[in-house]
Amino acid sequence: MAQPPLRTEWPFGPVKAARPAAVHDVRTAVRRTASPQVTPPQVTPPEGVARSGEATVVVGIADHEVLVRGGIRAALEQAHGIDVVADTGDAGSVIEMTLRHRLRVLLIDSGMAGTHGAWVTHTVRRLSPSTAVLVLASSPGGGHIDRILRAGVAGCLLKSGNPQDLVAAVRVVAGGGAVLYPEIAKHVLDRVARIDTERFERARELIGCLTLREREVLALVAQGMANSEIGRALHLSEGGVKAHISRLLTKLDCGNRVRAALIARDAGLTEGRTTEAGFPRPA
């Protein structure tokens, strides 16, 4: 009996792999219903508190008065991120203390900082350039303040200030900034203005004894012109220019052209600030 032909296909078409719909749908549902990832809020530390990861400011204190040193230390030690590692009442040990502890900020009394013409401050700045010197003064005036500021300090405060200002000043100078109390800034500006006024008036007085031609020659000397250039500008011979320069140097009591040029600058002769009416005509 003949066998029926062998089927190569299923009666309902080719067999396809079943899709695990149930598993797929469950995983999708889980992902959709899962709680979203929550980013924790960023907490900002209060004013005056060092942020996490910031370097601690290493501070040293130098002051003759024990109670003042203790008060400064107490104020700073309450602030986060500031570490008072040493203090001294001896001006001779300030430099050794600075170098031993690698101070970032040195708080020093103005009397100690101005010792021997601000020698202490100069030496600290030379041997430890990374140390910011912050001076504490009892009053805004006095010539020692001017010497100290010229020595390259980072700031100057008054001891009568409040502890919050002291902490803020330490942070500012530690970050490379500068601090100057308003009272001290006013003193400095007043002194600079007074010095400039005195120099200007003295220079005007000196130039007042020159003739108009000598002032013209002096103005060109102050601009750096050579004798030949001055001669061409004023239609003078080179010998005539030399004669004028010789006479004006004698009247100004100057030993050279550079000093004469400085007097001309101080009097405003190079900026057009002086006028013929501003000087008495010499006899």
pLDDT at 9 (0 to 100): 52
Q: Which residue has the higher pLDDT, 249 or 5?
A: 249
Closest CA to 219 of 156, 264, 279, 256: 264
pLDDT at 240 (0 to 100): 92
- Which residues have a Cβ under 8 Å from the Cβ of 95 and sit 6 or more positions away? 120, 123, 124, 127
Mean pLDDT of the chain: 79
How far is residue 147's CA from residue 80's CA, in Å, rounded to a whole number? 33
Q: Which residues of 201-235 are buried (b: 16+ CB within 10 A; e: fewer)?
A: eebbebbbebeeebbbbbbbbbeebebeebbeeee
| Domains of the chain with bracketed CATH | 57-180 (3.40.50.2300), 193-278 (1.10.10.10)
pLDDT at 1 (0 to 100): 53
pLDDT digits over 26-44, tens only?
A: 455 445 544 445 444 443 4
pLDDT at 188 (0 to 100): 76
